[in-house]
Every structure is written in structure tokens, then in C-alpha cells.
Amino acid sequence: MPKLIECVPNFSEGRNPAVIKEITDAMASAEGVSLLDVDPGKATNRTVVTIVGSPEAVVEGAFRGIQKAAQLIDMRGHSGEHPRFGATDVCPFIPVSEADMQDCIACARALGERVGQELNIPVYLYERAASAPHRRNLAKVRAGEYEGIADKITKDEWTPDFGPAAFQPKTGNIAIGARDFLVAFNVNLNTTSVRRANSVAFDVREAGRVKREGDPITGPVVKDAEGKPVREPGACKAVKGIGWFIEEYGVAQISMNLTDIGVTPVHVAFDACVDSAHRRGLRVTGSELVGLIPLKAMLAAGRYFLEKQERSVGVSEAELIHIAVKSMGLDELTPFDPREKIIEYKIRDASASRLVAMDLRAFADETASESPAPGGGSISAYAGALGTALGTMVANLSSHKRGWDARWQEFGEWAAKGQAIKDDLLALVDEDTAAFNRIMDAFRLPKGSDAEKAARKQAIQDATRYAIETPFRVMQRSLDAMPLLEAMAKDGNPNSVTDAAVGALCVRSAVMGAFLNVRINAGDLDDKAFVEQTLAEGNKLVAEAQRYETEILAQCDKVMAKG
């Protein structure tokens, strides 16, 4: 999966739909950017926009939005309830998938430098991208708001990180930063009392509550030696929360912002609310996710609740999400659609998994058609996925076998490994066909001039190398399933030993079939050293797959002979 970064710029315009559309259209015009959400507010006169894409794409998309906002928004006439100091007020980058905070910090600095140089707007870096400790807190960076810029910007401690150290009346300033993913998460209670919901919120949130003597609500405040109120911290770090009543649903909720789900994941905050509510005679009835959530957070929640049940976590991605939704009651108030609530699903390119999305008959019909793809490489990857799935099935059956309760975790770990291998091989089904199509596209490139001929030749060589590397990855990932299948044949549920053996047959075929693709494509590559090394390693992988197959089939015969 490629790196994905979310960017959430806030623009100081929430009342003019035409202006908002021009800004969001500019952002969406950047190649590789997905526009996920546009949330304008009239009272705040502010629009929050959410885009996602690769690091390069989101930087470009954010720059285009900031550029358009600088053209269309004049801060000299702006008013609104929300704090602000610029036409584009803030622009944070957030890691989503395969990206980390360093990627986001790099994005913030690259965008800040470009905005300062090309648009002549004063830029402050904040949160994790801040250039100094006193600039981390956005509230301090923005203190004084637009009206205070002229005086503040002249002070040494508030010299901009990029752009002019002078007041720009039309655009104001901009804060560009990097922060962790923020999840807005509400937990529902079987009460209408805001006071009782607040009690739970104070138990859970990091800030906790002011400590009191005697009665926790009406007792006198406990103070330290300096006369300052003493606080009792809550159970969950990186969590902000408060209780409120939602008239639409007729229930009180704990409304939380999880500011770092790496510190406190959603499922941990949920269970903290459950524990607090139980102690106070209340019951959590469900929860509500406001906005989007990363896939990894939902998968982690699914695994967490399965482990609490002492069940195998080696189930499909869809099953993990289902368990997470049901365990936290995310569908109590409104339906929970993973395609709309999980970031990776919302931006998923359906064409990238065209074959895997087919039903069995459609896939077989497509393979049997006059089209040359999918061919042997894709079928090998699918055979490997099926063989791995059989081993995973045996692991899950063994994990749940009556009388084997003490070994549920051992088999569950095997099943989780199998699921990961299976998913990788399924992705390679489409990737192998994409590799073939890439070669065909390279051959169709123009060849009229010497420059075009050279570019075409290089494209063909690059595509050919890719068409070797892809089935080679099929070989490697398929072979990774053999230890699973061997373990299941030896130690798994004996009633399913033939399933493990069939899995080994499929995986051996996947390795050998993918190697045929490696060999035939290797003949067209000019890099002979790479070809020689790849073929030598491929022969070793084939020999290892055959060895595993022989041992697993012998173990199957041994178990069957015992009756």
C-alpha cells in the first residue's frame, strides 16, 4: 500500500459557496489528490477541507488551495466566531497509511517554504513541525488573531519561519503543521443526564477533574502548597472529553477527541468509558464515529475484542471490521458503512483490484476469454492465495477446537500470518496483470525520433523488469505460506490434515507457475546480471517449495494411516 497523508486546511470563508468551490476545485485538480470532505460553517465563517494522497500530491493540492484562497479571500473584511489570523488559517498534515510523522513534518516544511517564497505569505510551523517549543501550541501561534499581527510579527520570538516578517493585510498569516490523526468519537449512555455523562468523561479524559474533599461534586477544592487546585488525571492520555445531551437521539454522550490514537486507540477509550459507566450504575449502549478513521484503527479494535474473547485474530479484514463495529456499537444510532467511514476504503481505486473483485465464475470466464491477461502469473498468485487460505482455515479450526482451549493463541498467531500472506497474494493477482499491461503500453509508445526511440526502449526495459519482479514476489510470498501449512499438517486439527496438504499442492504450483513467468520475461531484459541472480534465487525457491510439499504430503499420509 502506498504512503497516504491527510491534509486538513481551514479557510476563512464559510458563507460564499462560489468561493469555497473555487478553492476546493483548485485542490482537487492536483494529480493524486482525493477530496474527501468539505465542511463550511456560516457562524464561524470558516470551511474545513479534507484531502488525502501521497506526500507529493497533498503538498501540491494544499498549495493550490492556499494560492486560490489568497486570491479570493480578503481578511480585511472577515469576521467570524472562530479564532483566525489568515485567509488559509491552518494547514495540518496527518499520517494515515504507511506514512509516519517525519513524512508529515517534511510536507509541512516543504509547503511552508513554497508558500513563503511564491505567495509572499508569512508562515509559522506548529505542532510536531514547530521550529521552537513556544510555537508548538496553535493557540499561542494564533494569539492576538488577525488584528494583532501587525504588532506581533515585529517581535523576534514571532519572526515567521518562512515568508516576509511583515504584516500582509489581505492574506494575513498561515500556520502549517504536522499532527497525529484526531478521531472524534462519541460514546452513548443509557441516561439523559449531562451531569452523569460528565462524570464518565472526567474519569476518562487525560485532564481528569479538580480534586475535591468528600463529595466529588460539591466538596471543597483541594489545593496544593501554592494554592493551586489539585487535579486527578483521567484514565486515558491524549483524550479530551466532555458530556452532553443529544436531543435528536434522546441520549447523553461522552464526546471525545482522541488526539493520538497511537497513545490511546479508539477501543481503549471505549472500554474506559464502559468501566467508568459500570462503576456509576450506567451502561454504555453504543458509540458514534464523527468523520473518518484509518483502517489500522478499526483492525486493531477488531483484534482487541477477539483477543478478549480468546478467539483467533487470524480472520479476514472484513470480519475484523465487523467485530469492531458490533463490539463498540458503532451502528447503534446510524448505519456504519466502512466504505464511507474508513479513509483507505473511501479513496480506494476500484480499478486496482478489478480481478479480485470478480466472483468466481466471472474470474474464470475472464481468464478463459481471448484476452491474454489474466494469465499464468495472476493464476499462480491466486493459487497461492487459495493454498494459504486453506492453511489459515486449519489454524482457525484448531484455535477453536474443543479441548484445545489452551492453544487458541498459538493457532491464532498462525492464522494471522496466513491472512497477511493471503491478502498480499490477492493483491498480486491484479498486479501481475498490471505488469503485463505495462509492457503492452510501453510497446505502444511513439518511435518516430531518436529521442522517442530511446524513451520507448527504456520504458520497455523498465516494464520488463517489473514483469519479472512481480511474479518473483509471488514466488517469495507463496513460499512464506509453507511453514504455516507444515505446522498445520503436523500439529493442527487432524481432521483437516488433507486441507493442509491440498494447500501445499496449491502453494507449490504457485511457486513453480510464477517462476515460469519470471523465466519467460527474463529473456527480454538487457540487465543480464540481474537476470542471472533472479533465476538462481528462483531455482532455490522452487526446490524449497518442492521439499515442503513432499514433507507435508508424507505427514498427511501418516495421519491418515492412523485412521
User: Which residues have CB under 8 Å from 219's CB, separation 6+?
Assistant: 212, 213
Query: Is 322 tagged catalytic?
Result: no
DSSP H helices, 480-527, are 482-491, 497-522
Q: How many CB atoms lie within 10 A of CB 106?
A: 16
Instruction: Pick the closest to residue 152 from 139, 137, 142, 162 (CA basis).
Output: 142
- Give the single-character DSSP code of 182: P
CA 183 to chain centre: 13
User: Which residues have CB under 8 Å from 443's CB, separation 6+?
Assistant: 456, 460
Give the Cα separation of 59 and 53 in Å (integer): 9
Query: Is 82 tagged catalytic?
Result: yes
Which residue in this structure is represented by grid cell 515442503?
A: 548
* Alpha-carbon distances of 207 from 138, 211, 234, 502, rounded to whole Å: 18, 11, 6, 56
Give the Cα separation of 307 and 320 in Å (integer): 11
Give the Cα separation of 308 and 317 in Å (integer): 18
C-beta separation of 73 from 18 below 8 A: no
Instruction: Pick the closest to residue 2 from 349, 509, 300, 325 (CA basis).
Output: 349
At 315 the three-state DSSP class reads coil
Query: To the nearest 5 percent, what fractions of the chain are helix, strand and coil?
Result: 55, 15, 30
**Amino acid letter for position 473:** R
Give the Cα separation of 84 and 77 in Å (integer): 13
Handedness of CA 3, 176, 265, 263 (dihedral sign): positive
Q: How many CA within 13 A on the CB side of residue 95? A: 19
DSSP H helices, 2-74, are 17-28, 55-72
Catalytic residue (choose from 78, 82, 322, 400): 82
For residues 103, 105, 110, 115, the Cα torsion angle rounded to the nearest 10 degrees is 140
Q: Which phi and psi (to 5°) does residue 126 adopt?
A: -135, 180
Instruction: Pick the closest to residue 241 from 270, 262, 211 (CA basis).
Output: 270
User: Which residues have CB under 8 Å from 14's CB, separation 6+?
Assistant: 20, 40, 41, 42, 43, 44, 45, 46, 47, 80
Instruction: Pick the closest to residue 170 from 120, 118, 115 (CA basis).
Output: 120
Strand 46-53 to 123-127 pairing: unpaired
**Amino acid letter for position 455:** A
Q: Cell numbers of 165, please?
A: 516578517
* 374 upstream amide cis, omega within 30 of 0: yes
Catalytic residue (choose from 103, 432, 480, 499): 432
Give the Cα separation of 158 and 149 in Å (integer): 10
At 125 the three-state DSSP class reads strand
By annotation, the residues acting in catalysis are 82, 432
